[in-house]
Amino acid sequence: MVEHTVFLGLGSNIGDRAGNLKKAVKAIKEHGLKVERVSSVYESKPVDYLDQPDFYNAVMEIKTSMGPHDLLEIIQTIELDMGRKRPLLKGPRIIDIDILMFDDLTVNEGDLTIPHPYMKDRMFVMLPIVEIRKNARFPDGESIRRVLSRLKFETDNVRKIKDLDLR
């Protein structure tokens, strides 16, 4: 049985944001996914649709023997079980769980794109990945640290929440 290394992005901006992230981590474990590392929590301003509350974000590194589509199905089930609704594209949400990277796999299908298509532009994704895996690389070999160094760091847009442990 092959074990895959996967990075998942978590986000919440409705209700108890920290509690929602903790529930998602717990649910991921309960679905038999092996949690290797969980980043700190970062608060960020919304992007794309701006008229909504700030997000709490984190990244987890997991191990799984399932394929990307089966993993996506589990993630979507967790989101639905937690009350996720999608009335507005990129709008407020109780929980958002994204597959950021799956081994060195590249997928570009209707319901799934890996690596996540916007992650290179998202400080709130790149910072936590580097925090938990300093030498992480994209499937094409590009260093995540290098991409992060090119992003404009704005402390008013992304800030680390101290003393908040999701494990």
> Which listed residue (16, 51, 81, 84) is catalytic?
84
| Dist CA 28 CA 118 (whole Å) | 23
Residues 132, 135, 112, 43, CA torsion sign? positive
| Dist CA 44 CA 52 (whole Å) | 11
| Dist CA 31 CA 78 (whole Å) | 9
Q: Is 145 helix (H, G, I), strand (E, B) or coil?
A: helix
Question: Could you write out the DSSP letters of every residue in 71-89?
Answer: HHHHHHHHHHHTT---SST
> Which listed residue (16, 17, 48, 96) is catalytic?
96
Residue 153, pLDDT score:
66
| pLDDT tens over the chain, length 167 residues | 889 999 999 999 999 999 999 999 999 999 999 999 999 999 999 988 888 999 999 999 999 999 999 999 999 999 999 999 877 778 899 999 999 999 999 999 988 999 999 999 999 999 999 999 999 999 999 999 999 888 876 556 889 998 888 87
Q: Which domains does the chain have, with CATH numbers?
A: 4-161 (3.30.70.560)
Is 98 a catalytic site residue? yes
Is 122 a catalytic site residue? no
Pair of tokens at residue 131: 């925090």
**Residue whose token pair is 């090119």:** 150
> Which listed residue (17, 93, 122, 133) is catalytic?
93
